[in-house]
Amino acid sequence: MHLTGREYHAELNSRFDAVVIAPGDGGAGGELAVTGAVSLAGGRVVAASPLEEATRRIADIGSRPLVLLDARDVSEDDLVRTLSRLDGLVAGRDLPMVVAIGTEQIDIAAAGLILSRHQILCDPEPADWIGAIAAAQGDRQLALHDRVSEGEAARLAKLNAEVARIADVLARLSKHDEQPRSLVVAETSFDYVAQQSEEHAISAADIRQIVRARRLRDRYVGAGLFEDPAWDMMLDLYAAHLERAHVSVSSLCIAAAVAPTTALRWIARLTEAGLFERRPDPFDRRRAFMSLTERGLDAMRRYVAMARALGLPVV
């Protein structure tokens, strides 16, 4: 079916509905910035309200909108009082949600957002909003443009080349199957032996030294060149476990040594993978603690034991 330019534009703008919860000041952190991102992403705002009215407005909407909350100008007390209720409503209706916060609000957001499918952005730029909206809606539901750009074509070509390279490696490995198999068996036996010995234990002080060495690379080679937030956070939580210490979400973001939004994304991913778990602070509802799960702890113990049994550094 052929669409005219006006019809095509209307089709783009009806791809998804959004509810915007933000101060209506029109500034960079207000409603105007968020609604602009929705429009650029091909959606339409069906309701806009301050946080205290958000649950009522969402409950009155018959469609399944994307919820966009800009909480940066919301007071700490209001955020604590309202966020968990909004989280429950959004989770109950299985709605995607994007939440913008300031760095100082990380712990409050982590403690209040437990049930919903959400993304957290720290002090986002307009492009960050658009990217988060695209991720929430899925590529098939968004049309930022009507044809593949040269940049996308180049990325697709690189992807095809990488797939071909992997296929070639697998084909060559299959011709020498016996050697890789013997190596796997040998390392499995090492793993078993390593687990039986206490001599391969590691202390929290040892891990903290590893973290310091990792930060030295950034100082002398250049920040951002060796980013590995998942492993940095694994090390930090393992050290905290050995120290019997609590780690807040904001503290873990600092340990990740990347932008807070990136750190929060990795925390969510590692939680979904079953390596991290989040627990509320029983004495302060404004904070949540992160720790390694039993699976995560077992993985760290086995890694350390195997590395030391083989005479390798723990890095």
For residue 288, being part of any structural domain is answered with: yes
User: How sure is the predictor about 263, in pLDDT bands with cuts at 50, 70 and 90?
Assistant: very high
CATH of the domain at 301: 1.10.10.10
Average pLDDT, the chain: 81
251 & 305 share domain: yes
Q: What is the pLDDT of residue 91?
A: 94
Q: Can you give the CATH number for the domain in which 88 is found?
A: 3.40.50.2300
Laid out side by side, the sheet with 247-248 consists of 247-248, 288-292, 276-280
Query: Would the pLDDT of 239 be above 50?
Result: yes
In a domain, 212, yes or no: yes
Length of the chain: 315
pLDDT of 174 reads 54
- The predicted pLDDT at position 201 comes to 82
Q: Name the residue with tokens 């992997």.
A: 166
* Pairing mode, strands 66-70 and 17-21: parallel
Same domain? 166 vs 271: no
**pLDDT for the residue numbered 166:** 55
* Residue at which a domain ends, from 91, 124, 141: 141
In a domain, 314, yes or no: no
> Domains in the chain: how many in total?
3
Q: Is residue 172 part of a domain?
A: yes
Whether residue 284 has pLDDT greater than 80:
yes
- Residues 76 and 161 both lie in one domain: no
Domain-located, residue 293: yes
pLDDT band with cut points at 50, 70 and 90 for residue 246: very high
End-to-end C-alpha distance for the chain, whole angstroms: 58
* Amino acid letter, residue 180: P
Residues 231 and 295 in one domain: yes
96 and 134 in a single domain? The answer is yes
Please indicate, yes or no, whether residues 103 and 64 belong to a single structural domain of this protein. yes
Look at residue 187 and tell me whether its pLDDT is greater than 60. Answer: no
Task: Return the pLDDT at 10.
Answer: 46
Residue 59: how many CB atoms within 10 A of its CB? 10
Residues 40 and 101 in one domain: yes
pLDDT at 229 over 70: yes
Q: Are strands 66-70 and 96-101 parallel, antiparallel or unpaired?
A: parallel
The residue out of 141, 168, 189 marking a domain boundary is: 141
Q: Using only the alpha carbons of the chain, give its radius of gyration.
A: 24
Going by pLDDT thresholds of 50, 70 and 90, the confidence category of residue 218 is confident
Given a cut of 70, is residue 270 above it in pLDDT?
Answer: yes
Same domain? For 122 and 170 the reply is: no
Binned at pLDDT 50, 70 and 90, residue 142 comes out as: very low
In a domain, 194, yes or no: no
**Cβ atoms of residues 79 and 108 within 8 Å:** yes
Which of 19-33, 38-52, 146-160 has maximum average pLDDT? Answer: 38-52
Looking at the domain assignment, is residue 187 inside a domain? no
Residue ranges making up the domain that contains 288: 199-309
Does residue 299 share a domain with residue 270? Answer: yes
Ranges 2-6, 19-23, 221-225, most confident: 19-23
Q: Which residue has the higher pLDDT, 157 or 178?
A: 157
- Tell which wins on pLDDT, 181 or 263: 263
Output DSSP code: residue 21. E
Residues 137 and 153 in one domain: no
pLDDT higher than threshold 50 for residue 144:
no
Q: How far apart are CA 131 and CA 179, in angstroms?
A: 45
Does 123 share its domain with 80?
Answer: yes
78-92, 134-148, 189-203, 258-272: least confident range = 134-148
Residue 145 in this model has a pLDDT that exceeds 50: no
- With respect to residue 182, please indicate whether it lies within any of the assigned structural domains: no
81: tokens are 């009082």
pLDDT over threshold 90, residue 140 = no
The pLDDT value recorded for residue 198 is 54
Q: Which of 38-42, 54-58, 163-167, 275-279 has the lowest mean pLDDT?
A: 163-167
The reply to whether 98 and 129 lie within a common domain is: yes
